[in-house]
Structure 1
């Protein structure tokens, strides 16, 4: 029986046309994990100290928060006068049946969304402006923004209260509003707090987005300008898609920060406004836990806030992955 091919494979050997068999070279066998296997655990060794610190600072407090929310834990239990009794989900049922909780939750969501959108708009606009001005104005703007960012929340809130003070504030004088009180009305008080939150939050967005814009090749922006694209079109069609990973980070950070605002609301509205009209979840949890000594109920509010923030973050990341973004 003859074949058309000069070589026939027989049990791992090749037979050339001269009839002599030659062994086929085989790849060497791995006898250990190899360099790649050994290097796989090295990053975890570098991350181990940070993971230990995060576990001590985050995991254990969250565990204690969830544990307290499952018990009846008030001042009597703190002082040792009465034992803590297990209630399971009783605190959560009380919380979900409370009408004020739903009102505060709705106000918190709307207020946080307004703060996030305003912060992103101001930060991105100023980041683009930084790329258009000369070195000296850019330096002045950066220093002013970093000064606002470095100002403590209590100090910044006090300064903004003075600026809008009905008796001595310069804003009312410039606008001719007389003795108008910005903290008396619900919406005007929320608006005043929003201004302060944006003022102390936009520098992070501005600096981060500006660094991302500087990493975009100049040829791309020049090509878009030569094609006749406006500044808004360049941002929407060129910069925003290329900066999407950076915008993802600043958006998630802004959502977390603005959803759990406490200091600005507490200082500028006197603990939640008249009759609690300016309460947000963080201030509401503080009132329940420390003003009313309902520590378990305050812990339950904290757990609900944590779950909401996790859900928002996961949904946002899932939408980005559907769009083909690598995270």
Structure 2
């Protein structure tokens, strides 16, 4: 007996009404896929890592160029490392803080440190004073003299330190220098005396450093609202009073930046002292810490003491940098 398979046919809907769920669905649910909103982009699970990924190449280069040399500097400063150890004639031995004790017990080190601090302080004062004075002058002269002054200043700034030092030595040479002839000083030697040599180097350092202070301060003055300067002029304030009571307080963040940077740069002066005083002057009378470290490390082959001097300089400059950052935060600057 055969069984017939019945196929149930769906009865047509009355009056054309849809009977299936797909047909009963609203038209907006059956819209094409292209009309639907795009899928959301899944956010990164660790968004805080993204900046570090971009900074990673620069950090690797910085670690290779800065962190590793500083590590080697600190390592050599606690070892006995002289020419005998460099040549392999004697083994390297750990000295701990003995090199620092020897350095701090050396009277010449304290004399050089004091000379460095005084010299750097005078350079900073001269650089900031000349730079700020010329910045104010730039706001009071016409366009052509302003352009010429800016070009001359930037030319001094762009001159390499060794080139500028050589030119200044030529200008003040006791035999054929034009400065002695113009001043009628005969064969006066500017580098023979300690203070005259420091003064000559100071002038050269200020000459090559003031352009940055001038440009930055001039930009800050141009950002001051003109109404403020007009009000000061109406109150009868002169140039000095306007600077002291109006511009200096408003430019305090700018002045802090250029002053701290000048301290760091002038504390590390090497080329000018070495070239203009022939390695530190007669009997080392014009030594600063950078030149003193160079002489200890390379002239005397006392690499450990030279490295210890470098570590002391690094600590001093780190302290200055911390003061710089603290002053920036006090002025509301983001770090």
TM superposition shift of 1:289: 0.1
Structure 2 counterpart of 1:326 = 333
**Could you say what secondary structure the match of 2:321 adopts?**
helix
- What's the secondary structure of 2:190's corresponding residue? coil
Question: Does 2:114 align with 1:79?
Answer: no
User: Structure 2 residue aligned with 1:108, among 113, 116, 119?
Assistant: 116
C-alpha spacing 1:45/1:207, structure 2 compared with 1 (3 Å): farther
Match of 1:154 in 2: 162
| Aligned equivalents of 2:293, 2:186: Cα separation in 1 | 36
Per-residue CA deviations over 1:150-197 (Å, capped at 9, x if unaligned) read 111111111101111111111111111111100000000000000000
Question: Could you tell me whether the CA contact under 8 Å between 2:296 and 2:302 is conserved in 1?
Answer: yes
| Residue 174 of structure 1: aligned partner | 182
Of structures 1 and 2, the larger Rg is shown by: 2
TM-score normalised per structure 2? 0.82
2:216 corresponds to 1:208: yes
Match of 1:127 among 132, 135, 140: 135
CA contact (8 A) 2:162 2:275 kept: yes
1:265: which partner in 2? 273
In 1: Cα distance, 2:161 partner to 2:277 partner? 14
Residue in 2 aligned with 1:235?
A: 243
RMSD value over aligned CA atoms? 2.0
- Aligned-residue offset at 1:315: 3.3
Partner residue in 2 for 1:194: 202
1:145 aligns to 2:141 (yes or no): no
Three-state SS of the structure 2 residue aligned to 1:315 is helix
Larger displacement relative to structure 2 (54-63 or 258-267): 54-63
Partners of 1:122 and 1:251 lie apart in 2 by 12
Equivalence for 2:26:
none
Alpha-carbon distance in structure 2 between the residues aligned to 1:59 and 1:220: 47
Following the alignment from structure 2 to structure 1, what is the Cα–Cα distance between the partners of residues 233 and 54? 45
Alignment-derived partner of residue 305 in structure 2 = 297
Q: Distance in 1 between matches of 2:49 and 2:257?
A: 27
Please name the residue that 1:22 is paired with: none
| Displacement of 1:312 | 2.5
Quote how far apart the aligned CAs of 1:94 are: 0.3
When residues 183 and 313 of structure 1 are mapped into structure 2, their CA distance, relative to the original with a 3 A threshold, is same
Shift of 1:78: 1.5
Q: Which ranges of structure 2 fall in alignment gaps of 5 or more residues?
A: 1-41
2:289 is matched with: 281
How far, CA to CA, are the matches of 1:104 and 1:81 in structure 2? 32
Counterpart for residue 228 of structure 2 = 220
Distance 2:256 2:49 in 1: 29
* TM-score, length of structure 1 as denominator length: 0.84
Instruction: State the alpha-carbon separation in 1 of the partners of residues 64 and 110 from structure 2.
Output: 33
Which residue is equivalent to 2:78?
Answer: 70
Aligned to 1:21: none
Determine whether 1:251 maps to 2:232. Answer: no
